[in-house]
Structure 1
Amino acid sequence: MGKKILIISSSPRKSGNTDILCDRFKEGAIESGNETETIYLREKNIGNCLACDSCKRNGGECIRKDDMEDVLRKMMVSDAIVMATPVYFYNMNAQMKNLIDRTYSRYLEIKDKEFYFMLTAADDDINAMVRTVEGFRGFTYCLEGSVEKGIVYGIGSWNKGDVKGKRAFDDAYEMGRSV
């Protein structure tokens, strides 16, 4: 029986390099008999964390009434989570960081997940993405039973579609197949 995989793309650019890698991962994962769902953060209304701690007093319920509760539920029931971001100024973009911050209300319930990271950047040097990967690792370090399973580096991908000619295009597919 396949796994339930949640793919989260934080790119504000529809059909850009980050989305292309998400689609390739999805193709491989489906081919291997897994169930997938993709969330595009650009289509979601997710406000920032207010650091009010109301969620800690209200059983994990955030006072914000936006799309985050639905995303959190999907994260909690998934077996594997793919987090994909374009790299802006050598870090994950604001949309992905905001999502991570908003898991605060229920992050203790995101347990025993496999995590896959996919990054796209104009820079040709994988070392330029260290901060981004460490940001993801900082998040998953806080989640009980999380396991990092793989990273795809979509380097040298500035213009829309550039990643199609890169090694990352095939790596995303193979990583999806390996789930």
Structure 2
Amino acid sequence: MKKILVVVCCGNLNGNTDKLANSFIEGLLETGHEVKKVFLGNKDIKGCKGCGACQLNHHICAIRDDMQDLYPLVNECDTIVIASPLYFWSISAIAKSFIDRLYALSTNDKYPRKNSILLMTAGDNQDWTFDHSLSYYHILTEALGWNDLGSYLAGGCKGESGNHSIDEKNLGEVYNFGKKII
């Protein structure tokens, strides 16, 4: 079984994205995977400054924040799951900061081999709602050399003023997706 790190990149604990991630985790656990969930909404994760210090200093990022605690988790896992709400037709800023800071783990622009999965929620539910995010994710996985195990995209999830509306259909489907990860 795999060691799976689920990184929830939203600011709303128990919101739509967190609920989607939790259902996915339930499916993963049912099949015996070892799962660690990290909720970034209460973490201090700054954006990459592009200083390159990590490449000169044995993969140690110059920025001192909560990302330092996440690097070992990323190194230890087989699979990274990025769970993000859709904000202005892209991944959340928290997700982008987390991803950018993974540069510290590279050696000569080569990254540790990982499997990856993308989970997303959005209030919008057009045919093109997730196009930009999926394009970014596919380019990211190719650039990092990660093996894309798929994605689950839940549109039509309004989340205004604490009124979260992810439906049982999405939660059931993502649970089943989690059970299929081998």
Aligned partner of 1:150 in structure 2 is 150
SS in 1 for 2:144: coil
**Runs of 4+ in structure 1 over 6 Å off:** none
Gap runs ≥5 in structure 1? none
Aligned partner of 2:113 in structure 1 is 112
Gap runs ≥5 in structure 2? none
Aligned partner of 2:54 in structure 1 is 55
Q: How big is the shift at 1:126?
A: 4.2
Q: How big is the shift at 1:142?
A: 2.1
User: Is the 1:126–1:153 Cα contact (8 Å) retained in structure 2?
Assistant: no
For 1:13 and 1:66, how far apart are their aligned partners in 2? 20
SS in 2 for 1:49: coil
For residues 111-152 of structure 1, give each alpha carbon's deviation from its aligned partner in whole angstroms, at most 9, with x where no partner exists. 2211111110011124210111122222222223x1111211
For residues 93-113 of structure 1, give each alpha carbon's deviation from its aligned partner in whole angstroms, at most 9, with x where no partner exists. 100001111111114574221
Percent of aligned positions that are identical: 28
Kindly tell me the number of residue pairs found equivalent between the two proteins.
176
Q: What TM-score, normalized to structure 1?
A: 0.92
For 1:137 and 1:155, how far apart are their aligned partners in 2? 19
User: Is the 1:76–1:110 Cα contact (8 Å) retained in structure 2?
Assistant: no
For 1:115 and 1:30, how far apart are their aligned partners in 2? 17
SS in 2 for 1:163: coil
SS in 2 for 1:91: coil
Q: How big is the shift at 1:36?
A: 0.6
For 1:90 and 1:25, how far apart are their aligned partners in 2? 23
User: Is the 1:75–1:110 Cα contact (8 Å) retained in structure 2?
Assistant: no
SS in 2 for 1:125: coil
Aligned partner of 2:123 in structure 1 is 122
